[in-house]
Amino acid sequence: MTDMKTIAELDRASVLHPFTQLKDFATGRMGDPTIVTGGQGVRIQDATGRSYIDGFAGLYCVNIGYGRTEVAEAIARQAYKLAYYHSYAAHTTEELAILSGRLVKMAPGKPSKVFYGLSGSDANETQAKLVWYYNNLRGQPKKKKIISRERGYHGCSVVSGSMTGMSFYHDHMDLPFPGILHTGSPHHYWGAEAGETEEAFSKRRAAELEQLILREGPETVGGFIGEPVLGTGGITPPPAGYWQEIQAVLRRYDVLLIADEVICGFGRTGADFGCTLYGIEPDLVTVAKGLTSGYMPLSGVIVGEKVYGVMEDAADRIGAFSHGYTYSGHPIAAAAANAVLDIVEKERLSERARVVGAHFQKQLKERFAQMEIVGEVRGVGLLGAIEFVADRHSKRRFDPQQKVGARISKAARDRGLIARAMPHGDILGFAPPLVVSEAEIDEMVDLAYQATKQVMDELARQPA
């Protein structure tokens, strides 16, 4: 076996790592790469033999936990039987048909068909094409603009990266792509006016959305995309009444609603889907991550009856649906998804996320809410975030140079906990595997608390 020092050198010399400061990595300023060698349950190990609680389930995806042999066996069985065949022009496999039937049965809205990709990004790229296709086919060729939210995250390909509402995902990459617009984020803590209730704030956000649609011309706005719980932009559950208000506006102007369930789907919020929890009735749904728990790359675009009906009705006139990938509906990925969904159902992971999630939210609040540098503790199910501020009364932020969020995340990691420094502001994010136990939650929250305390003490010694 190649020794780990050689692996680290090979990596530094040849891997272009996503979301990495290239100079820091190339010069060794950020240390050696962490070589992840194994995982079991909620823990991963690295090549130095250290073990960590993975409080972020990889990237919010390993919902069933690491090392599930049932899934490995399902993958191997399919690989031995038939590693690949495409799904173009009426070809299918057993696993693909079974998975699709399950998804159509369980998905929110009025699902009709499932289209498959390999990532959340490419699935949202497909969603944009479906909004355009649908409106072309029903004779509304101007109705093409898509609205997303500031701080929403929908991927980083051309259109999905444009939907992502954070400018650092656009800078130097010539995004956003024309026709993708942004409306205000649903984050009450930062967006509300003094004394404004959640309900009033939700109404104001919906009124702003309506103004944007009217300003652009409703005949030019085709779709709206949102995560039921805003994820990478800060792990922010919607304020009270938000989705009801937003959906009323979308219906008024005949705008398709795309629910991006990439994080929320399959139990993360304590319900099967974020849509179920918040009463969202989407026209189109994006799923990925939890669909295979990261055991294979797979995403799904779940097309509702309204959109699919127009597509099928037009087919005799326009010909084939000309969109798809070599690996759309890959049989090994479909087999992995079926094995993962078997576990999700058998172990009732949505229910578990609701119960263990309530314990998690309580612990987070109890340990952190009164800390001097904590502005807000928020979350739902097994998604949680702590937002750090320099002054909790005025909500003054820390100087970004102090890198408070990143330092707390690093201090947690030094203690054996992976909790993510979210990319916007000083936020520590949590999304542990849904199989996490209450004891593991307590351990996780305690490690995060010690890490926060350490950085808070450092800040008190060297104020900004």
Q: Does 422 bind ligand PMP (CB under 6 A)?
A: no
Q: Does 175 bind ligand PMP (CB under 6 A)?
A: no
Q: For residues 280 and 362, what is the distance between their CA atoms, to the nearest angstrom?
A: 26
DSSP track, 308-373: HHHHHHHHHHH-S-----TTTT-HHHHHHHHHHHHHHHHTTHHHHHHHHHHHHHHHHHHHHTT-TT
Strands (E), 118-179: 145-149
Q: Does 232 bind ligand PMP (CB under 6 A)?
A: yes
Q: Which two tokens stand for residue 329?
A: 């509906």
* Least gap, CB of 153 to ligand PMP (angstroms): 5
Q: Does 258 bind ligand PMP (CB under 6 A)?
A: no
Count of residues that interact with ligand PMP, criterion CB under 6 A: 15
* Least gap, CB of 194 to ligand PMP (angstroms): 31
Question: By CB under 6 A, which span of 67-75, 199-207, 258-266, 359-367 interacts with ligand PMP?
Answer: 258-266
Q: Residue 303 — φ and ψ, nearest 5°?
A: -95, 125
* Least gap, CB of 156 to ligand PMP (angstroms): 7
Our CB check for ligand PMP shows the closer of 137 and 334 to be 334
* Least gap, CB of 60 to ligand PMP (angstroms): 6
Residue selected from 54, 125, 210, 227 as contacting ligand PMP according to rule CB under 6 A: 227
Q: Does 385 bind ligand PMP (CB under 6 A)?
A: no
DSSP track, 240-279: TTHHHHHHHHHHHTT-EEEEE-TTTTTTTTSSSSHHHHHT
Residue 315, class by beta-carbon neighbours within 10 Å (0-12 exposed, 13-18 middle, 19+ buried)?
A: exposed
Residue 316, class by beta-carbon neighbours within 10 Å (0-12 exposed, 13-18 middle, 19+ buried)?
A: exposed
* Least gap, CB of 343 to ligand PMP (angstroms): 21
Q: For residues 381 and 305, what is the distance between their CA atoms, to the nearest angstrom?
A: 30
Question: By CB under 6 A, which span of 28-36, 150-158, 165-173, 274-282 interacts with ligand PMP?
Answer: 150-158
Residue selected from 43, 68, 149, 154 as contacting ligand PMP according to rule CB under 6 A: 154
Task: Provide the mask over 34-73, with x wherever binding to ligand PMP is found by CB under 6 A and - wherever it is not.
Answer: -------------------------x--------------
Q: Does 262 bind ligand PMP (CB under 6 A)?
A: yes
The shares of helix, strand and coil residues in the chain, as percent rounded to the nearest 5, are 45, 15, 40
Q: Does 263 bind ligand PMP (CB under 6 A)?
A: yes
Strand partners, 259: 226, 285
Q: Does 288 bind ligand PMP (CB under 6 A)?
A: yes
* Least gap, CB of 290 to ligand PMP (angstroms): 11
Residues 98-137 that bind ligand PMP (CB under 6 A): 119-121, 124
Spell out the residues 6+ positions from residue 65 whose beta carbon is closer than 8 angstroms to its own: 39, 40, 41, 42, 293, 433, 434, 435, 436
Our CB check for ligand PMP shows the closer of 221 and 225 to be 225
Q: Does 241 bind ligand PMP (CB under 6 A)?
A: no
Spell out the residues 6+ positions from residue 439 whose beta carbon is closer than 8 angstroms to its own: none
Q: Does 272 bind ligand PMP (CB under 6 A)?
A: no
Residue closest to ligand PMP (Cβ): 120
- Residue 430's Cα: distance from chain center in Å? 12
* Least gap, CB of 259 to ligand PMP (angstroms): 10
Residues of this chain that interact with ligand PMP (CB under 6 A) are 59, 119-121, 124, 153-155, 227, 231-232, 260, 262-263, 288
